[in-house]
Structure 1
Amino acid sequence: MTVSTAPEPDRSTWPTGRLLAAAARLVEQRWVAVLDGMGLTHAGLIALHTLRDGPLPQRTLAQRCQVTDQTMSRTLGRLTRAGFVTRTADPTDGRRHLTRLTERGRAVHDEAVRAEPALLGGLGDDEAFRAGLLDLITRLSAGD
């Protein structure tokens, strides 16, 4: 079998879906490298972001992050071991626990948020770009 060494066609000819997939992969690869240096995963960052306004029960956190309870349990285990969150009994319902950010968790979240614009070549601060992404996500989510 012969492997082609022909150059990849001009990206301007790629279908939009391929462009979106390529962009998503590139951003994800950059995020993984940066977050790893902070002791975080992408899932962990999403959980920290969701907890920034106050403590939540695990199930509510999982729902807001759009993951299963099992996935959230593993994510929270890593975040707890890293000292980014604590889990304590809910004073209003002893059967569940509340997860809250620690100061260390808030600091690493803030650090990750500050790192984002550089990962996106400055696009993270571009309001028109963000508005376009939000519009795309809203339109695509409407079919769910």
Structure 2
Amino acid sequence: MSTAPEPDLSTWPTGRLLAVAARLVEQRWVTVLAQLGLTHAGLIALHSLRDGPLPQRSLAQHCQVTDQTMSRTLDRLAKAGFVTRTPDPADARRHLTRLTSAGRAVHEQAVRAEPALLGGIGEDQAFRGRLLELIAGLSAGD
């Protein structure tokens, strides 16, 4: 039985390389986050709540998802004990979502897991800067 030769990645267009890298990183993140009892959406929500409580609608806007998506994410995070939702004293029609100590701890675990996940490349500030430039440039085209 013969195996296909390894592709010469150096000949691939940059966009394809970025897509493959993104897919591989996403697969690794899914595995690591599942071990922590999180999803990618849950991690983003926890990250957004680290500086203080937010109403669900503001949190959804901050995370760039719909209110319905955020509601499902918060339901999972609340069941896991990572967030609480309490009535907003300034407006009884809405609830504030805040991190619990367990939520803060699991967020910190995920943040600490990132360097190993990326083989240290996430700590390369020049690389991060280029990624931020790329994202900003592509977003400006929307």
Question: Of the candidates 88, 91, 98, which is equivalent to residue 89 of structure 2?
Answer: 91
| Displacement after TM superposition at 1:7 (Å) | 2.3
CA apart distance, 1:8: 4.5
Measure, in 1, the Cα distance between the counterparts of 2:49 and 2:4.
49
- Aligned match of 1:107 in 105, 108, 119? 105
Q: Partner residue of 2:63?
A: 65
Which amino acid is the alignment partner of residue 29 of structure 2? Answer: W
State the alpha-carbon separation in 2 of the partners of residues 101 and 122 from structure 1. Answer: 28
Provide the aligned C-alpha RMSD in A: 1.2
Determine if the alignment matches structure 1 residue 131 to structure 2 residue 129.
yes
Amino acid at match of 1:33: T
**What is the TM-score when the length of structure 1 is the normalising length?**
0.95
> What is the identity percentage for the equivalent residue pairs of Structure 1 and Structure 2?
81
2:52 corresponds to which residue?
A: 54
TM-score, normalization by structure 2: 0.96
CA distance in 1, matches of 2:99, 2:128: 26
Question: What corresponds to 2:22 in structure 1?
Answer: 24
Unaligned runs of 5+ in 1: none
| Equivalenced residues, count | 141
Q: Which residue of 1 aligns with 2:79?
A: 81
Shift of 1:6: 3.8
Point out where structure 2 has 5 or more consecutive residues left out of the alignment.
none
1:14 aligns with 2:15: no
